[in-house]
Amino acid sequence: MTSGDFQELDTGEVTLPDTDEVIPVRYLGGELADDEENSRRRLLADWMVAPDNPYFARATVNRIWSHLFGRGLVDPPDDMGQQNPASHPKVLEALAEYFKQSDYDLRQMIFLLTGTQAYQLSSSSGESGDAMPELFHRMAIKSLTAEQMYDSLAAATCRLQPAQLGGPTFGLNRVLDQGRQSFLTKMRTPNNGGTKFQSGIPQALSLMNGGLTAGATDGSESDILQSLQAPFFSDEERLETLFLATLTRLPQPDEQTTFLAYLETHDSEETKQRALGDVLWALLNCAEFALNH
C-alpha cells in the first residue's frame, strides 16, 4: 500500500467491530498511551526512539545492514525474535549502541558500514559457490530494483545527462517521466533488492526486445552510439567506451579479442554502427549489468 491510502485523523476511537465499545490505545507491552497534549503519532514516535527501547535501534541497524549486504545479521530482517538469533550478535549490539549514541543518524551508520572491510570484500565466488552466506565472507550479489535498473539504463545510454542525475530537478523529472513509470510498472518485483533474482520471462523479453532497449541500441536514435561515430575513435576505444559506460570497467583481454573480432567483420559505416548496437545490446542484457555485485 502507498502512504496515500492513509489519512491521519485528529479524532476518533477504535471500537470493537459491530459495537460501540472503545478499545483504549496501549503501547506494545501493555501500558496505556494516555496523553491529551500530544497526538498518538507523536507518542508512538517518542516511544519508539526512547533510550530504554532496545528494539528500534537493533531492527533499524539490521535493516540497513541487509540493504547493504543483501541479507540481515538477523535474516529475514522481518523475523526478529528469540527463535531467530543474529549470526553475529555482538556486532548487532555494538552497531545498535553506536546508532543510539549518534542520535539515530542514518547517514553516519551507512558511512560506518560502507567503510568496513566486510563491505569492501569482492563478490567473486571462486570455488565456494553459495556456501555459508551468513558469514559475510564475500560481498553478496544483489538484484537491482526496478528504479535502479531504469536509471542505470538511462545513465549508461546517455538518455539522462550526469548533471541531470545529480541536479535538483531530477526528483520531479522522474515523477513526470512516463517512460520511467511504465517501465517500473512492468518490472516491479515483490521484494526489491535482496540476493534473489526477482524478474521473470516477461521482464527479460521486455529488456531484450522492448522499445527502451531498441531505442538505446539503434544507431540512428541512440545518443551514445551517435557520439561514437566520430572518425577519430578506433574500434578499441569504442569498445572501451561501451564497457566503461555499462559495466564501469575495461574489457578483459579475452573479451577484447571476441568483441573486436565481431566489430572488424562489419567494416562499412552502416554495418559498423549496427555492430556497435549489438555490443551495447549484449552489455545491457548481461547479468553483470543487471546485478549489484
Interface residue list for another protein (CB under 8 A): 76, 78-79, 84, 123-126, 129-130, 140-143, 189-191, 195-206, 208-210, 214, 218, 252, 254-255, 258-259, 262, 274-275, 277-279, 281-283, 285-288, 290-291, 293
Give 53 or 198: the residue with its C-beta nearer to another protein: 198
d(CA 188, CA 203): 9
Q: For residues 251 and 259, is the Cβ–Cβ distance under 8 A?
A: yes
Q: For residues 283 and 235, is the Cβ–Cβ distance under 8 A?
A: no
Residue 9 C-beta: closest distance to another protein, Å = 21
Residue 142 C-beta: closest distance to another protein, Å = 7
Give 47 or 281: the residue with its C-beta nearer to another protein: 281
Residue 198 C-beta: closest distance to another protein, Å = 5
Give 125 or 161: the residue with its C-beta nearer to another protein: 125
Residue 50 C-beta: closest distance to another protein, Å = 25
d(CA 91, CA 93): 5
d(CA 135, CA 252): 30
Give 112 or 133: the residue with its C-beta nearer to another protein: 133
**3-state secondary structure at position 85:** coil
Residue 10 C-beta: closest distance to another protein, Å = 27
Position of cell 549489468? 289
Ramachandran class of 26: left when φ > 0, alpha when ψ lies in -120 to 50, beta otherwise = beta
Cα angle 84, 88, 93 (rounded to 5 degrees) comes to 95
Give 109 or 290: the residue with its C-beta nearer to another protein: 290
